[in-house]
C-alpha cells in the first residue's frame, strides 16, 4: 500500500482526513485529530505532556479547493514506552507501578522517578495521571471529591497537594494557595538576616512572579518569600503577596500602583533611591540633576517634588526614615542571577518547582564557601568598604569615635555597622584589626544558620534561554495571523 508523502493532493476534506488517520495508524501514532476551516492535522497525544511535535498536516489550497499534505513528522519526543499504552496517563501509572509497586510516592517524587526512565513530564501532568482517576488516593490526601468536568477544580486540587508536599518537606516554611496563586516563605530567615524585604516583580508568559528578597551577609540576594500567579492581573498577585507577609519593612521601586497598594494596607516601606534617580534621568537626561536628587534623598529632610507628593518624606528621604537600612536603599536593582528569566517561561507548577530548586542549590553552594578569620570571615561588600576607609587620609580630629559603642559623630560607623575612616584610624593607632569591629551581621558564618530548602521536584532545571525574553530590536514586525480556534477530536 502506497504511503503518504508531502504534496499529496486530496479533493475533499473527508478524503484527506481518512488518509492522514490511516497513515498515523500504520506508523503507530497515538493521535488526536485537529480541524480548522483551512487545515486537517493528526497530532501526537503526547504534545502537551512531552512537547512532542510528531504530526501530519494537510492544508486547504485556495485556488482549487483541494487539501495538500504539507508536513509529515513522525519522529517523537515521547518516551519509547508511550506506544505501548492507550494514553500518556495510562503509561505513567503503569510505568510507576513497575518501578515502585504499590508504595505511596509524592507527585514530586514520581516526576523524578519518571525522569530517571527518560520520561520528562511536568508536575501537573503527572498529578492528573496519578490522582485524577484514583478516588482512594484523593481521600488519603484530604483533597475531597473532584468534579471531573472542571479543569479549575483539578488545578486547585493539584495546587493544594503541591503545597502539602512542600510543607511536608520544609516544616519550618509557610505555604498556602488561592485561585491559581501560590505563596511560600521561610520565616526563620528573618531571625538570621536583616529583616528588610526588597520586592521584585517578573512577568510570566501567563501571570506574574513576585519575589521577596533578603540580603545575606555578603549582600547577595536570597529568596525569602515568593508568589507565583497564573492570573493576568499584576495587582492581584502583589496584593496576595503583601497580605501573606508579616509586618515587615519593604524596599520598593518607584511604581505608583504598587506604592498605593502598600499605603492602603498601611505597610512600612521606602522607595529605592536609585529608582527615583532613574525616573528623573529618563525624564531629564541630565546627570547633574540625578546627582542632585541622589544627594537630596540621602541628606535632605525637606526636599519634595510633584511626582513624589503622594508619599510621605519618610518613605523616600533617608534622614526622615525611622528604620536603619544599612545603605540598602542605595543599592542597585536587585538581580537574582541564579533565577534566570527563562524560568518564567515555564508552566505554573514547573515555574514554582524551578524557583525552589534553584534557590535550594544556590543556598547549598553559598554554604560551601570556606570560612576564614579576620577579613576572610566577610564578603567583598565589607572588604571593599574597609579597604576604602583605610585608604582615606584622616586629618580632621573633630570627630569623636566611641569604639565600645561602635559610634562616630560622622554617623557612618553606626549607619553601616562597619568602622568608618575615623574609626579605622583609631583602631590602627591602638594596634587592633578593623575587621574585629565589623558587626556580626556581615559574618558569612550566619549562612550556616539558614536551613536548607528541600525542593518538591529535585531535578536539574532546564528552560528557555533568557534571550527569548529580551525586547525585539528594530526591523519589520512579525506578521500575526488571526485564526479560528481548532476543533480537536480524539
451 domain-assigned: no
362, 223: one domain: yes
Cβ contact 182:228 at 8 Å: yes
Residues 186 and 335 both lie in one domain: yes
Answer yes or no: is 163 within a domain: yes
- What is the chain's mean pLDDT, rounded? 86
Averaged over 360-370, what is the pLDDT?
Answer: 91
Name the pLDDT band for 166 (thresholds 50, 70, 90).
very high
> Once rounded to an integer, what is the mean pLDDT over residues 477-482?
45
Q: Are residues 394 and 361 in the same domain?
A: no
What is the pLDDT, as a whole number, of residue 461? 86
**Banded model confidence at residue 489, pLDDT cuts 50, 70, 90:** low
pLDDT tens readout for residues 208-220: 999 999 999 999 9
Mean per-residue pLDDT, 313-317: 95
Mean pLDDT of 139-143: 46
From 118, 148, 169, the end of a domain falls on 169
Residue 476 has pLDDT above 90, yes or no: no
Are residues 188 and 292 located together in one domain of the fold?
yes
Q: Are residues 292 and 186 in the same domain?
A: yes
Residue 133 within a domain? yes
Quote the pLDDT of residue 117: 82
Q: Does the pLDDT value for residue 321 go beyond 80?
A: yes
Q: Tell me, what's the pLDDT at 150?
A: 60
Same domain, 158 and 279: no
Q: What is the mean pLDDT of residues 365-373?
A: 86
In this model, does residue 480 exceed pLDDT 50?
no
C-alpha cell at 13: 476534506
* Same-domain pairing of 332 and 198: yes
Domain total of the chain: 4
Where residue 313 falls among pLDDT bands split at 50, 70, 90?
Answer: very high
pLDDT value at position 131? 83
pLDDT at residue 136 tops 90: no
pLDDT tier at 469, thresholds 50, 70, 90: very low
- Are residues 231 and 164 part of one domain? no
Query: 68: closest CA among 161, 5, 124?
Result: 5
Task: Give the domain extent around 50.
Answer: 9-78
Answer yes or no: is pLDDT of 485 > 70. Answer: no
Average pLDDT over residues 35-53: 82
Residue 67 lies in a domain: yes
Q: What angle do CA 448, 449, 451 make, to 5 degrees?
A: 95
pLDDT tens-digit map of 383-428: 999 999 999 988 877 889 999 999 999 999 999 999 999 999 999 9
pLDDT band at 482 (very low <50, low <70, confident <90, very high): very low
The whole-number average pLDDT for the span 336-344 is 83
Find out whether 490 and 44 touch, Cβ atoms under 8 Å. no
- Is there a domain that residue 257 lies in? yes
Ranking 81-95, 100-114, 130-144 by mean pLDDT, the lowest is: 130-144
Evaluate whether residue 320 is within a structural domain.
yes
Lowest mean pLDDT among 15-29, 89-103, 132-146, 169-183: 132-146
Let me know if residue 462 belongs to a domain.
Answer: yes
| Pairwise pLDDT comparison (135 vs 106), residue with the higher score | 106
Confidence check: pLDDT of 140 > 60: no
- Residue where one domain finishes, among candidates 78, 99, 120: 78
Span 221-231, pLDDT tens digits:
999 999 999 99
pLDDT of residue 479: 45
Domain check: are 227 and 252 in the same one?
Answer: yes
Indicate the residue among 137, 152, 169 that finishes a domain.
169
Asked if residue 196 and residue 138 are part of one domain, the reply reads no
pLDDT digits (tens, 9 = 90+) for 259-288: 999 999 999 999 999 999 999 998 888 888
Structural domain includes residue 416:
yes
108 in the same domain as 54: no
Is the pLDDT confidence value at 456 over 80?
Answer: yes
Nearest to 213, CA basis, from 308, 312, 324, 338: 338
Q: Are residues 208 and 275 in the same domain?
A: yes
- Phi, psi for 262 (deg, rounded to 5): -65, -40
Amino acid at each position: 500500500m502506497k504511503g503518504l508523502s508531502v504534496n499529496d493532493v486530496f479533493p475533499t476534506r473527508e478524503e484527506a482526513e481518512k488518509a492522514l488517520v490511516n497513515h498515523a495508524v500504520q506508523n503507530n501514532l497515538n493521535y488526536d485529530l485537529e480541524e480548522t476551516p483551512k487545515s486537517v492535522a493528526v497530532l501526537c497525544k503526547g504534545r502537551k505532556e512531552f512537547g512532542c511535535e510528531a504530526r501530519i498536516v494537510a492544508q486547504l489550497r485556495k485556488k482549487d479547493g483541494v487539501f495538500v499534505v504539507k508536513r509529515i513528522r513522525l519522529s517523537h519526543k515521547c518516551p519509547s514506552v508511550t506506544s505501548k499504552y492507550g494514553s500518556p496517563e495510562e503509561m505513567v501509572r503503569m510505568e510507576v507501578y513497575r518501578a515502585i509497586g504499590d508504595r505511596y510516592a509524592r507527585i514530586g517524587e514520581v516526576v523524578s522517578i519518571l525522569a530517571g526512565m527518560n520520561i520528562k513530564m511536568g508536575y501537573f501532568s503527572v498529578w492528573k495521571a496519578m490522582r485524577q482517576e484514583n478516588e482512594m488516593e484523593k481521600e488519603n490526601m484530604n483533597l475531597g471529591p473532584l468534579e471531573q468536568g472542571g479543569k479549575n477544580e483539578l488545578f486547585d486540587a493539584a495546587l493544594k497537594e503541591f503545597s502539602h508536599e512542600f510543607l511536608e518537606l520544609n516544616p519550618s516554611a509557610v505555604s498556602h494557595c488561592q485561585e491559581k496563586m501560590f505563596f511560600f516563605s521561610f520565616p526563620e530567615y528573618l531571625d538570621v538576616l536583616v529583616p528588610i524585604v526588597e520586592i521584585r516583580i517578573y512577568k510570566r508568559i501567563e501571570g506574574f512572579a513576585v519575589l521577596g528578597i533578603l540580603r545575606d551577609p555578603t549582600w547577595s540576594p536570597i529568596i525569602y518569600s515568593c508568589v507565583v500567579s497564573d492570573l493576568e492581573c499584576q495587582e492581584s498577585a502583589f496584593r496576595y503577596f503583601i497580605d501573606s507577609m508579616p509586618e515587615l519593612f519593604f524596599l520598593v521601586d518607584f511604581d505608583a500602583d504598587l506604592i498605593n497598594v502598600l499605603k492602603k494596607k498601611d505597610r512600612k516601606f521606602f522607595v529605592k533611591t536609585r529608582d527615583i534617580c532613574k525616573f528623573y534621568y529618563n525624564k531629564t537626561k541630565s546627570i547633574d540633576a540625578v546627582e542632585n536628587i541622589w544627594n537630596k534623598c540621602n541628606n535632605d529632610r525637606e526636599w519634595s517634588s510633584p511626582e513624589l507628593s503622594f508619599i510621605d518624606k519618610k518613605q523616600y528621604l533617608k534622614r526622615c526614615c525611622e528604620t536603619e537600612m544599612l545603605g540598602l536603599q542605595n543599592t542597585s536593582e536587585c538581580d537574582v542571577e541564579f533565577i534566570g528569566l527563562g524560568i518564567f517561561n515555564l508552566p505554573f507548577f514547573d515555574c514554582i518547582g524551578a524557583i525552589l530548586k534553584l534557590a535550594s542549590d544556590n543556598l547549598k553552594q553559598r554554604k560551601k564557601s570556606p570560612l576564614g578569620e579576620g577579613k576572610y570571615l566577610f564578603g567583598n561588600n565589607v572588604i571593599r568598604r574597609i579597604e576604602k576607609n583605610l585608604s582615606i587620609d584622616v586629618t580632621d580630629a573633630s570627630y569623636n569615635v566611641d569604639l565600645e559603642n561602635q559610634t562616630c559623630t560622622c554617623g557612618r560607623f553606626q549607619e553601616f555597622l562597619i568602622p568608618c575612616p575615623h574609626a579605622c584610624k583609631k583602631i590602627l593607632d591602638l594596634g587592633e584589626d578593623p575587621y574585629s569591629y565589623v558587626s556580626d551581621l556581615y559574618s558569612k558564618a550566619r549562612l550556616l544558620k539558614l536551613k536548607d530548602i528541600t525542593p518538591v521536584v529535585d531535578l536539574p532545571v532546564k528552560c528557555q534561554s533568557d534571550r527569548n525574553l529580551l525586547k525585539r530590536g528594530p526591523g519589520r514586525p512579525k506578521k500575526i495571523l488571526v485564526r479560528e480556534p481548532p476543533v480537536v477530536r480524539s
